[in-house]
């Protein structure tokens, strides 16, 4: 009897994405989706991804198929659902007459209204599967249906995120810190927090380390009326409030303007396309150039942390447009 090696979880996800019905977005049918809602079980495009993020992770947990790390449980959940056709047979079981799915070129308002109706308000589900606010619970006949319904269970006290039109995604790689400030007896437990609009993401805590190496990638959705990214470094404390270890602002205008000006970066070789200049008004240690590197728009920088006695932070930014 021949023994076969078990199929890896990543291979399962790749095989699932290659299925014909998963080669288009579950919500607008745009080709070649590179994002997914791990708890709902659908593959989606970047434009729909922005709306899914605004629903909150208690409804839709968005992950990049290529950029994010997936747990085995998340991949198994996607496989269990079976893909876009299977999921839509539940979520779009009862599309009312006159309601049409948005197309790939639909505007943000049309796209948002449909996605919220589909997943948050459950308007297209079979009535017997809808969650109600009463005390009676729904009896579900299979683990698949149970998981579908669990993804809609929300705490009424949770705040919903307002509708925002996104123009792309910003991937920030927090590379390392150097000579960070001491906030404990002789060291610190630093972590980095990034804020853009209402979004907040952070690195893990580096225990007892003034020169931490994170190499962690954080994702932010960039709204149409974006502002600088606010960066803060904190010292983690177990029994008291975390102490600030410096801050800085990241002007993402040069990166985005350069990327939009040149369009598809895969059409160009490696080259410099923009620059953020060091000045007394920003935290740059040296000028920061925007470059096309292997078909991607990237920008490396080293920031001197502000309002603190010492500390530098090395970052790498990457712009991901709606067309990627």
φ/ψ of residue 116, rounded to 5:
-65, -40
Residues in the chain: 324
* Whole-number Å distance between alpha carbons of 218 and 66: 14
Taking 80 as the threshold, does the pLDDT of residue 153 lie above it?
Answer: no
φ/ψ of residue 306, rounded to 5:
-95, 155
Taking 80 as the threshold, does the pLDDT of residue 135 lie above it?
Answer: no
* Whole-number Å distance between alpha carbons of 91 and 4: 36
Residues 6+ apart with CB under 8 A from 175: 213, 214, 215, 314, 315, 316
* Whole-number Å distance between alpha carbons of 77 and 40: 8
So what's the pLDDT on residue 51? 92
Q: In degrees to the nearest 10, what's the CA dihedral of 106, 111, 113, 116?
A: 170
Least confident of 107-116, 131-140, 198-207, 308-317: 131-140
pLDDT digits (tens, 9 = 90+) for 50-88: 999 988 888 899 998 888 888 888 888 888 888 888 888
Mean predicted lDDT score pLDDT of the chain: 84
H-helix segments, 92-172? 108-115, 143-150
Taking 70 as the threshold, does the pLDDT of residue 14 lie above it?
Answer: yes
């Amino acid at each position: 009897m021949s023994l076969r090696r078990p199929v890896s979880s990543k291979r399962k996800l790749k095989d699932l994405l290659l299925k014909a019905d998963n080669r288009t977005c579950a919500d607008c049918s745009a080709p070649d989706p590179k994002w997914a809602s791990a708890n709902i079980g659908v593959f989606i495009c970047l434009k729909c991804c922005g709306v899914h993020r605004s629903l909150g992770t208690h409804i839709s947990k968005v992950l990049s198929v290529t950029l994010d790390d997936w747990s085995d449980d998340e991949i198994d959940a996607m496989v269990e659902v079976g893909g876009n056709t299977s999921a839509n047979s539940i979520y779009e079981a009862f599309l009312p007459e006159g309601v049409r799915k948005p197309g790939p070129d639909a505007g943000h308002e049309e796209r948002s209204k449909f996605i919220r109706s589909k997943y948050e308000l459950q308007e297209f589900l079979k009535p017997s599967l809808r969650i109600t606010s009463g005390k009676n619970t729904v009896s579900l006949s299979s683990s698949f249906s149970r998981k579908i319904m669990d993804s809609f269970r929300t705490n009424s006290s949770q705040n919903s995120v307002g509708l925002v039109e996104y123009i792309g995604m910003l991937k920030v790689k927090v590379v390392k810190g150097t000579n960070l400030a001491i906030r404990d007896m002789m060291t610190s437990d630093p972590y980095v927090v990034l804020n853009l609009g209402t979004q907040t993401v952070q690195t893990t805590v580096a225990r007892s380390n003034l020169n931490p190496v994170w190499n962690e990638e954080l994702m932010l959705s960039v709204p149409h009326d974006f502002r600088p990214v606010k960066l803060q470094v904190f010292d983690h404390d177990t029994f008291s409030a975390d102490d600030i270890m410096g801050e800085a602002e990241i002007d993402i205008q040069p990166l985005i303007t350069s990327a939009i000006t040149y369009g598809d970066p895969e059409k160009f070789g490696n080259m410099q396309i923009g620059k953020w200049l060091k000045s007394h008004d920003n935290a740059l240690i040296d000028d920061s150039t925007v470059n096309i590197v292997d078909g991607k728009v990237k920008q490396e920088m080293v920031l001197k942390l502000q309002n603190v006695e010492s500390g530098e932070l090395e970052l790498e930014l990457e712009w991901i447009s709606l067309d990627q």
